[in-house]
Amino acid sequence: MNNNELIVIALGGNALLDSKSKGSIEERERAADKTAEQLHDVLSSDFRVVLTHGNGPQVGNILIQNEEAASKVPPMPLDVCVAETQGEIGYVLQKSIQNDFRRKGIDKQIITLLTQVVVDENDPAFSNFSKPIGPYYNEEQKNEILRNKKDWMFAKDPAGKGFRRVVPSPKPIKINETRIISDLLNNNYLVIAVGGGGIPVYFNSEKNETRGVEAVIDKDLASARLAIDLNVDKLIILTNVDYCYINFKKENQIVLKDLNLDEANTYIEQGHFSAGSMGPKVQAAVEFVTATGKKAVITSIERLNDALTGKAGTVIHP
């Protein structure tokens, strides 16, 4: 590959920690090594790249640690937990990419940037707690928690696994560190940013200060916001399938290789993309294409190279 295009590549949290893993550092490092190898051709090329990533499994583990150790160590609020996962995942992934570069003689620098994402404190999401996080609880455990933490809210799992805490998931408005990221890219750094959707913050105008907030931001929507703010040439959203589908895994399944905005919006309105998986990815792609007039691609990490040459993935365009 030989291209000076600026691209954002959004990795899923499971690309760095499989949902079946116990979460040991050895498992995380093996997953990161594999991801670094799969990304090698793109990252070692002339593309200017920002990597973003999810943090679902990792922040869930931190929340479990919070609960288990609460009697000995004060638990941290959710924005701090997201910041912890940014540092943790960024370090492991950065190290794997550095080692991959070193083994293959690539002279390129990489940096992980703690990234704050601004939300509106009046976002309707703060009145509609909808994003499940952390471990499952039975009803007795849930009631015990509510006796001590009356501000928590829970939702029953549709699959019958128990109850999970739910928190707001507000829309990202802007990325605080966009100018810093742009400067790093202009100096040929590979940047890891907006980890886990970014640390959710809002601006308190009365006190002229930034404050963290108990919420999580969808990582694909945050990646799209960053891609818009940076005016990148292409947004690549990686998931565990090669394409988007309608009627997924049914006899009448149809693969979607090329969608214009009208088609993508129609499929969203018809409910073909579930809120827990493909929905936010397609919505993020639509928001990027609408704002920039450029293309977004949704595909798997295994087909990334093909997707960048137009040979794989669902392309969403004006």
Active-site positions? 13-14, 131, 219, 281
User: Which residues have CB under 8 Å from 226's CB, separation 6+?
Assistant: 8, 50, 52, 175, 178, 181, 193, 194
Alpha-carbon distance of 79 to 59, in angstroms, equals 10
Alpha helices in the chain (DSSP H): 25-43, 56-68, 78-103, 139-148, 178-186, 219-230, 261-269, 278-292, 304-308
Alpha-carbon distance of 235 to 12, in angstroms, equals 14
CA distances for 185 relative to 38, 42, 230, 318, angstroms:
21, 15, 10, 27
Task: Render 135-175 in DSSP notation, one character per residue.
Answer: EEE-HHHHHHHHHH-TT-EEEE-TTSS-EEEEE--PPP-EE
